[in-house]
Structure 1
Amino acid sequence: MMKDRYSRQELFKPIGKDGQKLIKNKHVLIIGCGALGTANAESLVRAGIGKLTIIDRDYVESSNLQRQQLFTEQDCLDQLPKAVAAKVHLQKINSSVEIESFVMDGTSTNLVPLLVDVDLVIDATDNFDIRFIMNDLIHKYNIPWIFGSCVGSTGMSYTILPGTTPCLNCLLNAAPVTGATCDSVGIIAPTVQMVVAHQQVEALKILVEDYSSLRNKLVTFDLWNNLYHSVNINRSKKDTCLTCGENPVYPKLTYDAQTKMEVLCGRNTVQIRAKREIHLGELAKQLSNIGIVNQNEFLISLNYDEYRIVIFRDGRVLIHGTDSTEKARNIYYQLVG
């Protein structure tokens, strides 16, 4: 089927037919399925990756459509989880790729089995809690990881090779990022595409095992102000680092280091994580006495006073309309128990 599908990619000498065979036998895990995640996923699927696993905790909203290229208005109306909607569209692009999608919030526990046989992890997350967990995990299990971040017209990318390059902790000590988010200062779509371009070319190098061509510098840019920097941060790697140093202990993998209740920056929303699986059908019936409940097989949502509550099957709850964890906790107990 479509024997010339990858012909133009194979004509590129650093890849060739041998490289294409390598790509077909590789497995990539993408953490996050928003702007960076959807664009990375589409590029990999079009490139002929053998297996793709995508993880995301959120669902499609109208504000996503401006830059998250796989999603449609119907996905938004259906309140589909991003990982589910992405898989549907990706499978239509390339039916020969094996795609797994997981609607969940990644933790140091549930991510471990998903790392089995993974050749590369791509960072497409929107918060540093999960990034620091991933930083420890990829070093513990020795998996390459491509960091990426963007907001406004600025972005950065860096390729992390366990045992060789500085880890995320070392990187942020050398080049700290601001606390700005897309929800607080906005973002333009070209910023996303620029970060993805840097991530994807590095991904292809790793997938065809051309490690000598990997970029060994941190790339930062500001598209609007015409700025571009490439920074050598190799000296920032520290022997005393608890993640990539001589005696690693992977501190972010301990239970106490993980967030159980968190305010989602800039969204006036609190997320609550509970180690329980919720029977959505039964809970929807209970909550129908309070207000109109919208339900699909992945989540239920309803308006409660001035708040909007979204409850996922894996026990996570998003409480929109407050940044008070105390208030969110009270609402959670009132509705979920």
Structure 2
Amino acid sequence: MKLVIVGSRLIDSFEQHLSDSFRALGHEVSLMDVTDIVPISAKLTYWASRFIAPIDRAVSLRLANKITKLRPDLVLIVYRNLHPILVDQVKKQLPGVPVVQINPDVLSNLEKQQIMAADFDYYFSKEPFIVDFLRDKMGANAHYLPEGFNSHVYRKPTVEKAVAEWMTDIDVLIFGNLYAYRARIVEQLMRAGINVAVYGTEGPYLRPLVQSTFHGQYLVGPEKARLLYGAKIVFNTIHYAEVTSVNQKYFEINGIGAFQLCDYKPTIDEYTGVPAEQVTYRTMDDAIDKIRYYLAHSQERHELADRQYTHFQQHHTVDLRVEQLLDTVCGGALSAYPLAKEAIW
């Protein structure tokens, strides 16, 4: 199958992981970003489109024309801030080609509701709350599709977990954009006497206490896998706008064999390979108690991490998500795409 994915080319982006999996399954993929049709940065294009309506329409029309020239069998749009005219033009110029929206982000990042105004053939979201609203209130063809981890990039290090922990020498690791809510959580851990190492991108309002433990390194690829696996505990602070769902980190951490403790979300009961109450917390007091417990019980955390690793390798790769998406979109029509059918079956 030949497809176009419209989204970010940034390293470690959801779009990059999707592209890797489609290619691994034998499909021909073109990843298209707004920078392909506008000679300025994606950030400048975003702000210009947000406030200048003619630019907003022009960017989407040019994207539609570029997509059409590639003659894909499937168009998958990850961006949520593009003008709805993009979908109209693609469907007009490529009749019969499914145009799909896949949303890997939280409820608070739906921009100006462009995806709700656009006439997508299919909607996919990791958040059951959004799926229910799109389907039951808007009448959209919406489907639940969790995120996963890129098993082609994030592999379990070959060294034993205990040795990796000794080499890395990190008790608790937190990574990601250092938003205000995440920084306040870090402060609570530090005030409880827990040694925390923070990696990622600095956000606004970073206070001195958190600054003292902030490494400022954005983790990607093998280095990310090495540090997460080597940390005794990876503490995943899921965004407050995740109503019932989790983030991509949740799958990556478990998928490389690291030990993860994260705040509880209802979908974790569906995803986890061990009892959710053993690897989640509901309050910061609960989190601090569990961190202290697992720091003192290395064998137990190693066993839990190993069970999660096996479970997530079997059930939560992006390759599996791609197969699920294709099965939903193409269904019985997969015979029209021999390569896709061969990859899935």
RCO greater where, 1 or 2, for CA within 8 Å and sep 6 or more?
Answer: 2
More strand by share: 1
Q: TM-score, normalised by structure 2?
A: 0.26
Q: TM-score, normalised by structure 1?
A: 0.26
